[in-house]
Structure 1
Amino acid sequence: MGGGSADSVPRIGRAQMGEGVCFLDTTGVEANATLRVGRASEASSIPFFSIPVVWTLTNVIHNLAMYVFLHMVKGTPFETPDQGKARLLTHWEQMDYGLQFTSSRKFLSISPIILYLLASFYTKYDAAHFLINTASLLSVLLPKLPQFHGVRLFGINKY
């Protein structure tokens, strides 16, 4: 077999995945994330903001939070039996035993794209909003690519 399936990875327990990210593989995470983005969009509908500004803010805030949570935070909040291996890995790198293209990773990769499409539609493809939303999407989508697994550009987040 190809060795890329989740069945070929020995599983000793949830600690193998990384205690800080094991919740991302549970049921209901997708629905919860979708509801939170919808609520954030509603909450940012302050009367003096226009609809394009609200959608751009929703997109940028969501992508910023996901970048910080998945691609900047390293290690786990408590001691794990992995001999400190998770200490140098971001949450994205710890997810799903490091396997690419699992259902959790697909959802976390597709959701910013869908939010980007919605933001682009509601901003009527205005050039300024389009550039902001595109930069925000690229900043959160590029680190998810398999080619960037374990890569630290310019030494940022190396330790």
Structure 2
Amino acid sequence: MINPQTINPLTLPSVALNERSQLPSQRCIYFAIDSQGVVQYIGRTVNLQTRWLKHHRYKQLAQSEDVRIAYLSIEPDLLPEVELALIEWFNLRLNQTEVISDKKRISLYLDEALKSDLERLAKIRKRSLSNLIEVLCEEELERVRKNGELKDA
């Protein structure tokens, strides 16, 4: 496990938010850092470039000047654990707030036990239930795309 105290996001590779299409397509933990060098948001993804082309926090972060996206490559099985440890270490308020977004709302019917488990996981990972489900869906779609399962659909 990585010690969050040893991570300095300011020394990691980064790309300006307005140049997010230049981000690499890799699994990583990412940091949104403002012009003062303060980490505003931390997340994880299986594809950094895809994640930031449609990120749910883009509009909020774009209101600040000179926001950069820094990233740290992590083994896939460590992504959730490292992300949580970093969010707790940096104590980020934005990670725990509701998302203001232009995204489309859908209705979803879940078994009560599944819903309960997802709510607990969302609380553990300090995400909203909606964001957790979105992230899990994105990760599964990325896996499906890599396996070529969508080509015949």
Larger RCO (alpha carbons 8 Å, 6+ apart):
1
More helix by share: 1
TM norm. shorter chain > 0.5: no
More strand by share: 2
Name the TM-score class by shorter chain: under 0.3
Superposition TM-score, scaled by structure 2 size: 0.27
Superposition TM-score, scaled by structure 1 size: 0.27
